[in-house]
């Protein structure tokens, strides 16, 4: 579902052609696809009601939203083509709540909602409305919601980042085999998007066929039995997810420890290279410019956030090329999939340490150029 042209706002930078490419790619994997573009509020809601019927009992249901979006009171909304928001309460009837779309996707065994969100030119006087994605209540356990942007992206860059994420998603959807993780990584623009919910390990190449209906001779289970079974499944899934989360935290802690160790070694080397301070200079007052300089850690964090934006705009083909180059140099041993996860981050850190640059896990423009041209 894509909205590019608006009655009351400037165009969205994501063109409907990109969304059509997404639909064609998913259709080639066996999905039944409905592409709806530049529609008003009534048509959008009617389309979602129809999709809710189709999603029921399917193996996988995917909803792609592209266009202007806003957040308010912990909820995010897609704006249909005829929306005009004058106050936050208008969103309840004139916007499409992402949380409601997630509920529809959740009618399938597995659901996913991808929102390639751009920024409308809404009056800044509406202080209760933000250009940031918001979702205070997580979706059900069988649904993941992915935003192409987050608080990490300056508002002025949201359109550019989301447009690139949409193009990456359309490209990723053509791959065979196709996994949910691949689509999520593309839609979330690497590390600058927002992912809410559980990313199921799914092979999307099999398509979203419906569940097999029970034989006529089998008795229908009672509502109590259904609820009990669902509760047992939910508890088992919760336990599994907690275990996965604990494992992920352990991996993150290990990665942070390696990074801190590298930083400590660099700091130690830098300190050893500095001449010993003269006693007479120790008593001198610190220059005002130095007193006002930001802490080194804050400057480094700002630098990393800027590099995340650089990475988000690379595109999948260039990311794959970087993985190939690092593989050829012996730093990378993972798949060439344009997903910059833990394995790629470690390869980047090893490369940066090898060339004597600061170890951040995020490539600078100069490092990108050196790898591609090298």
Q: Are residues 34 and 178 in the same domain?
A: yes
Please name which of 367, 343, 327 lies closest in space to residue 185, comparing C-alpha atoms.
Answer: 343
Sheet containing strand 110-118, strands side by side:
96-97, 75-78, 60-72, 110-118, 143-147, 194-197
Asked if residue 216 is part of any domain, the answer here is no
Q: What is the pLDDT of residue 217?
A: 38
Segment 199-230, tens digit of pLDDT: 988 899 865 555 444 433 334 455 555 665 66
Do residues 87 and 127 make contact, with C-beta atoms less than 8 angstroms apart?
Answer: no
Q: Are residues 252 and 333 in the same domain?
A: yes
- 3-state DSSP call for residue 65? strand
Q: Are residues 41 and 163 in the same domain?
A: yes
Asked if residue 224 is part of any domain, the answer here is no
pLDDT at 357 > cutoff 60: yes
Do residues 65 and 18 make contact, with C-beta atoms less than 8 angstroms apart?
Answer: no
* Tally of structural domains, the chain: 2
Asked if residue 185 is part of any domain, the answer here is yes
Of 6-10, 54-58, 73-77, 233-237, the poorest mean pLDDT is in 233-237
Q: Are residues 259 and 137 in the same domain?
A: no
Show the domain range for 192. 16-210
Asked if residue 232 is part of any domain, the answer here is no
**What percentage of the chain carries pLDDT values higher than 90?**
59
Query: What pTM did the predictor assign?
Result: 0.71
Asked if residue 173 is part of any domain, the answer here is yes
Asked if residue 134 is part of any domain, the answer here is yes
pLDDT at 85 > cutoff 70: yes
Q: Are residues 197 and 319 in the same domain?
A: no
* 210, 233, 260 - which closes a domain: 210
Q: Are residues 331 and 182 in the same domain?
A: no
Please name which of 132, 44, 123, 48 lies closest in space to residue 80, comparing C-alpha atoms.
Answer: 44
Residue 56 belongs to domain with CATH number? 3.40.50.1460
Q: Are residues 201 and 330 in the same domain?
A: no
Asked if residue 290 is part of any domain, the answer here is no
Q: What is the pLDDT of residue 76?
A: 97
Asked if residue 227 is part of any domain, the answer here is no
Residue 131, sorted as left (phi over 0), alpha (psi -120 to 50) or beta, turns out to be alpha
Which residues lie closer than 8 Å to 250 by C-beta, 6 or more apart? Answer: none
Q: Are residues 155 and 53 in the same domain?
A: yes
Q: Are residues 167 and 252 in the same domain?
A: no
Segment 255-275, tens digit of pLDDT: 565 666 666 666 666 656 665
Q: Are residues 257 and 163 in the same domain?
A: no
Which residues lie closer than 8 Å to 373 by C-beta, 6 or more apart? Answer: none
Q: Are residues 191 and 77 in the same domain?
A: yes
Do residues 323 and 344 make contact, with C-beta atoms less than 8 angstroms apart?
Answer: yes
Q: Are residues 255 and 197 in the same domain?
A: no
């Amino acid at each position: 579902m894509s909205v590019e042209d608006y009655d009351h706002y400037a165009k969205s930078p994501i063109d409907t052609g990109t969304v059509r490419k997404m639909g064609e790619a998913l259709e080639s994997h066996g999905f039944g696809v409905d592409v709806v573009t530049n529609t008003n509020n009534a048509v959008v809601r009617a389309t979602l009601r129809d999709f809710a019927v189709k999603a029921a009992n399917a193996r996988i249901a995917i909803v792609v939203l592209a266009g202007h979006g806003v957040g308010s009171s912990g909820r995010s909304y897609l704006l249909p083509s005829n929306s005009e928001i004058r106050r936050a309460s208008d969103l309840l009837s004139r916007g499409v709540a992402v949380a409601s779309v997630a509920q529809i996707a959740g009618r399938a065994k597995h659901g996913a909602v991808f929102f390639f969100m751009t920024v409308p030119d809404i009056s800044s006087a509406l202080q209760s409305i933000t250009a940031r994605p918001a979702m205070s209540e997580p979706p059900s356990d069988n649904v993941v919601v992915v935003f192409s942007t987050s608080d990490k992206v300056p508002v002025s860059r949201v359109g550019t980042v989301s447009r690139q994420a949409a193009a990456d998603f359309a490209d990723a959807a053509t791959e065979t085999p196709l996994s949910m993780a691949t689509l999520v990584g593309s839609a979330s623009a690497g590390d600058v998007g927002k992912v809410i919910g559980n990313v199921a390990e799914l092979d999307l190449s099999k398509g979203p066929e419906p569940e097999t209906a029970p034989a006529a001779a089998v008795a229908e289970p009672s509502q109590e039995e259904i609820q009990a079974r669902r509760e047992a499944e939910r508890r088992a899934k919760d336990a599994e997810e907690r275990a996965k989360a604990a494992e992920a935290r352990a991996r993150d802690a290990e990665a942070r420890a390696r990074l801190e160790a590298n930083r400590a070694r660099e700091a130690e080397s830098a300190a050893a290279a500095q001449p010993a301070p003269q006693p007479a200079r120790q008593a001198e007052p610190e220059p005002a410019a130095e007193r006002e300089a930001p802490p080194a850690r804050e400057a480094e964090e700002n630098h990393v956030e800027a590099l995340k934006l650089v990475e988000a705009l690379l595109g999948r083909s260039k990311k794959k090329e970087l993985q190939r180059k690092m593989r050829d140099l012996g730093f990378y041993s993972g798949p060439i999939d344009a997903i910059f996860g833990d394995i790629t981050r470690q390869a980047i850190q090893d490369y940066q340490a090898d060339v004597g640059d600061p170890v951040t896990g995020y490539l600078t423009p100069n490092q990108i150029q050196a790898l591609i041209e090298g």
